Structure 1
């Protein structure tokens, strides 16, 4: 992203709120932070609690102290959380709540062809998902026979995420943005999103723009993910399409994301808490590491350090060092040790 007001303050502040969460989040997050400290020796870290275990201990999945720490730091690394398999009174998803409270309006999900991950060749796409509204506003009602959910789309939120998508495309040297919608069926809601994105696109004449209905986009993504550059989508479609794209990038274990706003950013590896392997020290830290690279590039305006981290991860995988989910035998800590050896800090 281009240098914006507040970037200098962020660079000087260099604080990170570290929320490990549940399950393997407690294993990958500390190891990823260990690598980040090599890149940013002056980084201040503040640990905070969130998740299902926190809810059971404190009665809330996102304590006020955690939210205050996240606001103070501006930058957050959020590991993974478990969710109850049944409705629990008072439980709310802490990551969804944190995104909203911090105003992180865009979810940025790259998919890359990483060596040794089983990824398809030649993929380098970015999905930018609106992060605050659509069906995810959580307004539902039911009389027991009929259930209704509110789909809310606003021009302001649609323009805001479109601005982020086109700015990221421009700054990253990308050439095309595909607007995803279903305006043929929902002309008022999806039509508003599409039209707001088109309005923003007019200010970026150097970037080609096309649009696809979401079902067609899913088909084309499954057939040839290499054909996409940047996809811009409302919340629900972006959520689904980004997980579909991850299947071609080596799976959720290596899928990074960044929740981006004007006042805060949350680096969030996409994988879950994986209770089946939690505590064994074999969880894959790649998603956490690459999420931190996104934080370095797009929040702290440190593209050289971000590139160094990304290249170190790629070199580690290319050298055949991997955790068991990718067919290797490295532990979480051993993989991060190998990344540290391959960091280029010259």
Structure 2
């Protein structure tokens, strides 16, 4: 964890956030998320400092690189980074060093992020829009913990030549051990169960993964029930019986796929947020992509971006109460039937990005005022 993640923001502290809107709907949901962040800390005796920088295809068009040096330096100087989304159809077929996704991978590596937390909780208000049945998803509360610094996305050699292409999945014992330790710690603070996902019946990397997880659990897993599941079965079980899972521990590729699949449990990828933590600056981003087909139409769901803010507040700034106000606000708005089009139920009139954000801001402000009155009575 970063040094910032180990201390509470003291009164008068400056909370420095690098803001990377990115591509497609990224700038729209980022703007909504920053409004929510500002509202959440307004009465907390801290100063919020936001520094906006380009990333992704927007940055390529402006200067030729998906991760400009000025953007990287702003991120390294910040306490936290918020990223909207990267990706654009015009980038297809571009050299690898001009791809928006190359910028994202480079950013994660430069920030030393190796743990990606993707919580998947189905609130009662969204049970009816799940791709599964209400009976199956009701009560779902899964923490998908994805190893973020290794695996196929970073392994060498990689390349394409003479009609062939190759990638390399590599993990060291140390990399598996550190993510397993974090998974055990998370499980211990939740419901005490950890399911490690692999493909140990086929892949040598997965066999090492399983062995190291078992060794780490034997040493550090007191009070945690640990089991293993092959990734293909995990994909099925996640849809058929999601409430069996507490912490789902995965390597990089499997976690990317499973967490996107988990979006179907809440009805939309637009509803999920994430936190990428490690040894440097923390990175927060909604799970969804850039959705260029709806960019600029004002209909993007900012819920995943807001959920990412709700992760930033406790993990980087240790502002638990502020995070709870954000979560309570957007869940109350959903319960009131105020929804963007991707999570609306039959008979509900969808609202746009701005209207949903305004409703959440109104809830945050009302709960903040109520808390201040209560504190005054004391």
Alignment check: 8 A CA contact 2:8 2:318 kept:
no
- State the SS of the aligned residue for 2:7: helix
Alignment check: 8 A CA contact 2:8 2:317 kept:
no
Q: Which residue of 1 aligns with 2:355?
A: 334
- State the SS of the aligned residue for 1:105: strand
Superposition pairs of residues 1-346 of structure 1, within 5 angstroms: 7-8=6-7, 12-41=13-42, 42-83=47-88, 84-88=91-95, 90-92=97-99, 93=101, 94-114=103-123, 115-116=125-126, 118-119=129-130, 120-137=137-154, 139=156, 140-171=158-189, 173-187=190-204, 189-202=205-218, 203-327=220-344, 328-343=349-364, 344-345=367-368, 346=371
- State the SS of the aligned residue for 1:90: helix
Q: CA deviation at 1:102?
A: 0.3
Alignment check: 8 A CA contact 2:272 2:286 kept:
yes
- State the SS of the aligned residue for 1:272: coil
- State the SS of the aligned residue for 2:265: coil
2-structure distance, mates of 1:5, 1:200: 26
CA RMSD, aligned part only? 2.0
The farther-off stretch of 314-323 and 327-336 is 327-336
Q: CA deviation at 1:5?
A: 7.5
Alignment check: 8 A CA contact 2:267 2:342 kept:
no
Alignment check: 8 A CA contact 1:113 1:250 kept:
no
The structure with the greater share of residues assigned to helix is: 2
Query: CA offsets, 1:234-276, max 9 Å, x none?
Result: 1111111111112112221111111111322111101111122
2-structure distance, mates of 1:191, 1:116: 38
Query: CA offsets, 1:60-83, max 9 Å, x none?
Result: 001111111111113011001124
TM-score by length of 1: 0.93
Q: CA deviation at 1:88?
A: 2.8
2-structure distance, mates of 1:135, 1:325: 32
TM-score by length of 2: 0.86
Aligned residues: 343
Query: CA offsets, 1:4-36, max 9 Å, x none?
Result: 776337653411111001121111111110111
Gaps in structure 2 of 5+ consecutive residues: 131-136, 372-378
Gaps in structure 1 of 5+ consecutive residues: none
2-structure distance, mates of 1:10, 1:198: 36
Query: CA offsets, 1:33-90, max 9 Å, x none?
Result: 0111111232111111101021022010011111111111130110011242223353
1-structure distance, mates of 2:207, 2:248: 16
2-structure distance, mates of 1:67, 1:10: 24
